[in-house]
Amino acid sequence: MSRLKLPPWLVLLLPAIIILMAVVLVPLVLSFYSSFTAYQLTRPDSLTKWIGTFNYRKAAGDANFWWAFGRTVLLLTIALNLEMLLGLGLAVMVSKVTTGQRLLRTAMMFPMMFSPVLVGFQFKFIFNDNVGLVNNALQSLGLTDVAIPWLVDGHLAMFSIIFAEIWTSTSVFAILILAGLYAIPQDPVEAAKVDGCTPWQSFRFVTLPFLMPFIYIAMAIRSLDVARAYDIVQIMTNGGPARRTELLWTLIGRTAYVDARMGYANAMGYIAILLSIFFTIYFFRKLTAARSELGMGV
């Protein structure tokens, strides 16, 4: 009886394939299956109770789900645009520095090195009503007489979360845009100067088009991060006050682990994944268009 002999390349890849199946494929299949069941953490036997697309239809008609989706899109829109503008400005300024540029590039990366959990605790303290640094600074400067409820008021709480997101992730845009600035060919820039273009015209019509592929890459990466934002929101506000800052994944986490409705939470999670894929496809199409305009192919 001949023994099955695997090709050498498959033997080398087999451990990685087994690990990926164990930690990625099996949980994905199980969670996808459970999204079609009435699975509850408090009732393990409910995993076998098949209810079809009921969870998906329930999520599609759930006002809380769509409010959380709207807040997630709001956070994504504001955070991405501000991070892009601030990162662009920071990258341009750093590129103009002639002494100590390496030190500035290193310092610029510090915020992105912090864990989101640590950033959440940090800004929860900074925006604290009583002992927070922001309120103490405003009161010391005489700009306000009373403590501002940054994390209690619905609008201010969302502003605080957006501020924390921008602080921790602007450096992602800055690093990628700075790499784009170093990669720009100097011939078009010099030609623009010879033709009498102002610095703004050179930046707007020569530099910026070359930077757009790098900007769209950063937006694609950050859109996935913001769309699944959980740590910072959970620690700073826990979705409050009165669910005013509850995003998609904080709602999914609450549904799964507080309400114990794991099947319904998984259904909402797969809808959220589809929405994230939509934003990713959008930014990659913009990236492809920007590369085509520069003659860089697809």
Tokens at residue 294, please?
């520069």
Q: Which phi and psi (to 5°) does residue 42 adopt?
A: -80, -10
Is residue 23 helix, strand or coil?
A: helix
Please state which of the four CATH numbers 1.10.3720.10, 3.30.1360.170, 3.40.50.1370, 3.40.50.150 is assigned to the domain occupying 26-293: 1.10.3720.10
pTM of the model: 0.85
Q: How far is it, in rounded angstroms, from Cα 256 to Cα 252?
A: 6
Question: 166, 93 in Cβ contact below 8 A?
Answer: no
Summarised one tens digit per residue, pLDDT across range 186-235 is 888 888 888 888 888 888 888 888 888 888 888 888 888 887 788 899 99
Tokens at residue 219, please?
């937006």
Tokens at residue 240, please?
């409050």
Summarised one tens digit per residue, pLDDT across range 159-189 is 999 999 999 989 889 999 998 888 888 888 8
Question: 291, 297 in Cβ contact below 8 A?
Answer: yes
Residue 145 makes CB contacts below 8 A (sequence gap 6+) with 139
Summarised one tens digit per residue, pLDDT across range 53-68 is 999 999 989 999 999 9
Question: 232, 119 in Cβ contact below 8 A?
Answer: yes
Residue 239, phi-psi category: left (phi > 0), alpha (psi -120 to 50), beta (remainder) = left
pLDDT at 218: 87
Residue 52 makes CB contacts below 8 A (sequence gap 6+) with 36
